[in-house]
């Protein structure tokens, strides 16, 4: 025996032997034949963004489970596949293009998609080899990809059904916008990090408000107080001057206002804040934008137009101080959203996008857990699950990118969020929506109704 183990001499040979022998491909029981329930895991599909990372070490746990079940004689399936990772791949390909001194718009959509496909295929091949070299006992005869023909058909069918039921709609709502990637991103891709900032106390006539974003005052449409606010109660229904403008805005009251924040009075900017948007909807207020999708101040801001947010903030505060409208400034630490990919500070913006109504889907996902048709292990996590679903917001599914599944409607250039297809993974890998013999075999409980509940749960995870 050699003193040093040399895996490269034996491991590839062993894995080829396993594959050739079909040891990871389960035998499908004859139709109607009684027997043990199969054991099935679909591999959480790794993104085709280059290679595996340390987080994929979790696959070891799945490998242990499936090998244990095979040794027990159970019909066992561990199904592999890959995720096309729209925003991640687009970001990486754009970085490659930038090294040539070009942008994706300069090379055009067709050339960009050709490069993205080539990049994804190269990543897929490398990751596949990594998974094999790690010895994972996956059934490669069933390999799937979130952008292959079968999965594409599933995406189109799921969109069609949800759209027909009125669960997909187009509307204007506050979304997370990345000024650099130039697309909407999900809440999970909007990473909050602590940053040092300033809280500015500004005079709106007889009312003082506190804000971290003085550059957005031009899009203010009201000042709101909590109904219990005695200090400013007498001003409700009246108008106060908006600093640095010729406008006056109304004072309103709303229970959503935190009476303990700042002075207890809140500037309402429906176009730039989720809470403000909701208050604006209740009070039928106008929606204005002081910051555009390019991350710069808009024409609404007058002489500040074209300035970046930081430049605009400095200039606006300087002018407010000249007008003696700054009561005080406090140093604070607060959470600021950043794009998970490019790390750019994100902007909450009102935007016309495509959304999935999540409340009806959440209701079904709650019911199947409460009825114990689906079990969460350990059970104590049910509390978090229910709290999350009971407070869920509609999910923005449209992305202003080129790489991914196009929204299947005429005249729409946007693509779908990656998770629209990933949510279908547990059923699309078995050929859904086409009826497949293997679907009831490997997932006995997955009737057509439960299939869509499974889909709902997957969708909700990303909303």
Query: Within a domain: residue 51?
Result: yes
Q: Are residues 200 and 332 in the same domain?
A: yes
Q: pLDDT tier at 2 (50, 70, 90 boundaries)?
A: confident
pLDDT digits (tens, 9 = 90+) for 344-364: 999 999 999 999 999 999 999
pLDDT digits (tens, 9 = 90+) for 29-49: 655 455 678 899 999 999 999
Query: Within a domain: residue 178?
Result: no
b/e code 164-195 from CB counts within 10 Å (16+ = b)? eeebbeeeebbbbbbbbbebbbbeebbbeeee
With beta carbons less than 8 A apart as the criterion, state whether 254 and 283 touch: yes
Q: Are residues 204 and 150 in the same domain?
A: no
**How many Å separate Cα 172 from the centre of its chain?**
17
DSSP 171-193: EEEEEEEETTTTEEE-GGGEEEE
Q: Are residues 83 and 203 in the same domain?
A: no
Q: Are residues 69 and 161 in the same domain?
A: no
Query: Within a domain: residue 60?
Result: yes
Phi, then psi, of 206 in degrees rounded to 5: -75, -5
pTM of the model: 0.87
Query: Within a domain: residue 304?
Result: yes
Question: Which pLDDT does position 433 carry in this prediction?
Answer: 87
CA distance 85 to 422: 9
Q: Write down which residue in 349, 378, 395 finishes a domain.
A: 349
Residue written as token pair 């997370």: 176
Query: Within a domain: residue 174?
Result: no
CATH of the domain at 106: 3.40.50.620
Query: Within a domain: residue 175?
Result: no
pLDDT digits (tens, 9 = 90+) for 252-299: 999 999 999 999 999 999 999 999 999 999 999 999 999 999 999 999
pLDDT digits (tens, 9 = 90+) for 385-442: 999 999 998 999 999 999 999 999 999 999 999 999 999 998 899 888 887 666 666 7
Q: Are residues 192 and 333 in the same domain?
A: yes
Structurally, the chain folds into a number of domains equal to 3
Q: Are residues 305 and 212 in the same domain?
A: yes
Q: Among residues 388, 383, 384, 389, which one has the least CA distance to residue 363?
A: 389
Q: Write down which residue in 110, 144, 178 finishes a domain.
A: 144
Question: Which pLDDT does position 223 carry in this prediction?
Answer: 98
Structural domain containing residue 204 = 188-349
Query: Within a domain: residue 162?
Result: yes
Q: Are residues 209 and 332 in the same domain?
A: yes
- To the nearest 10°, report the CA torsion of 423, 424, 425, 428: -170
Q: Among residues 414, 354, 312, 303, which one has the least CA distance to residue 167?
A: 354
Q: Are residues 258 and 209 in the same domain?
A: yes
With beta carbons less than 8 A apart as the criterion, state whether 120 and 89 touch: yes
DSSP letter at 405 equals P
Question: Which pLDDT does position 38 carry in this prediction?
Answer: 87
Query: Within a domain: residue 18?
Result: yes
Q: Are residues 308 and 374 in the same domain?
A: no
pLDDT digits (tens, 9 = 90+) for 65-111: 999 999 999 999 999 999 999 999 999 999 999 999 999 999 999 99
Q: Are residues 265 and 336 in the same domain?
A: yes
Q: Write down which residue in 331, 349, 367 finishes a domain.
A: 349
With beta carbons less than 8 A apart as the criterion, state whether 179 and 295 touch: yes
Q: Are residues 255 and 384 in the same domain?
A: no
Question: Which pLDDT does position 1 carry in this prediction?
Answer: 78
Q: Among residues 152, 174, 84, which one has the least CA distance to residue 402?
A: 84
Question: Which pLDDT does position 455 carry in this prediction?
Answer: 45
Q: Are residues 324 and 408 in the same domain?
A: no
CA distance 306 to 141: 55
With beta carbons less than 8 A apart as the criterion, state whether 345 and 211 touch: no
Q: pLDDT tier at 7 (50, 70, 90 boundaries)?
A: confident
CATH of the domain at 301: 3.90.740.10
Q: Among residues 461, 452, 430, 457, which one has the least CA distance to residue 161?
A: 452
With beta carbons less than 8 A apart as the criterion, state whether 12 and 131 touch: no
With beta carbons less than 8 A apart as the criterion, state whether 419 and 186 touch: yes
CA distance 350 to 172: 6
- Write out the two tokens for 19: 């594959």
């Amino acid at each position: 025996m050699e003193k040093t183990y040399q895996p490269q001499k034996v491991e590839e040979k062993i894995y080829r032997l396993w594959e050739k022998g079909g040891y990871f491909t389960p035998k499908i029981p004859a139709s109607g034949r009684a027997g043990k329930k199969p054991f099935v895991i679909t591999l959480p599909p790794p993104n085709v963004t280059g290679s595996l990372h340390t987080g994929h070490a979790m696959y070891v746990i799945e490998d242990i489970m499936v090998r244990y079940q095979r040794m027990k004689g159970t019909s066992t399936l561990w199904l592999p596949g890959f995720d096309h990772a729209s925003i991640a791949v687009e970001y990486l390909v754009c970085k490659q293009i930038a090294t040539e001194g070009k942008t994706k718009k300069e090379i055009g959509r067709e050339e960009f998609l050709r490069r993205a496909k080539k990049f994804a295929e190269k990543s897929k091949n490398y990751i596949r080899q990594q998974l094999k070299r790690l010895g994972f006992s996956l059934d490669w005869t069933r390999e799937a990809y979130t952008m292959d023909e079968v999965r594409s058909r599933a995406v189109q069918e799921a969109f069609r059904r949800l759209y027909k039921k009125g669960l997909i709609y187009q509307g204007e709502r506050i979304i997370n916008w990345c000024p650099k990637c130039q697309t909407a991103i999900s809440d999970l891709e909007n990473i909050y990090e602590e940053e040092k900032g300033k809280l500015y106390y500004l005079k709106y006539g007889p009312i003082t408000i506190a804000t971290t974003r003085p550059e957005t005052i031009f899009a203010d449409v009201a000042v709101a107080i909590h109904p219990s606010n005695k200090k400013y109660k007498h001003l409700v229904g009246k108008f106060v001057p908006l600093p640095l403008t010729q406008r006056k805005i109304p004072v309103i009251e709303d229970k959503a206002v935190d009476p303990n924040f700042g002075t207890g009075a809140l500037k309402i900017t429906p176009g730039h804040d989720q809470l403000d948007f909701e208050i604006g909807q209740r009070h039928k207020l106008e929606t204005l934008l002081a910051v555009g999708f390019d991350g710069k101040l808009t024409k609404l801001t007058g002489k500040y137009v074209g300035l970046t947010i930081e430049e605009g903030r400095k200039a606006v505060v300087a002018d407010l101080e000249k007008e003696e409208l700054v009561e005080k400034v406090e140093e604070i630490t607060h959470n600021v959203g950043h794009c998970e990919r490019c790390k750019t500070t994100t902007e909450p913006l009102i935007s016309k996008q495509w959304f999935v109504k999540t409340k009806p889907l959440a209701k079904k996902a709650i019911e199947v857990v409460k009825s114990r048709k689906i079990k969460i292990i350990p059970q104590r996590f049910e509390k978090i699950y229910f709290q999350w679903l009971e407070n869920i917001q509609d999910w923005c599914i449209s992305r202003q990118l080129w790489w991914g599944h196009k929204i299947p409607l005429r005249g729409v250039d946007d693509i779908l969020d990656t998770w629209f297809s990933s949510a279908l993974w547990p059923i699309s890998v078995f050929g859904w929506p086409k009826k497949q013999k293997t679907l009831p075999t490997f997932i006995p409980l997955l009737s057509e109704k439960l299939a869509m509940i499974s889909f709902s749960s997957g969708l909700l995870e990303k909303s």
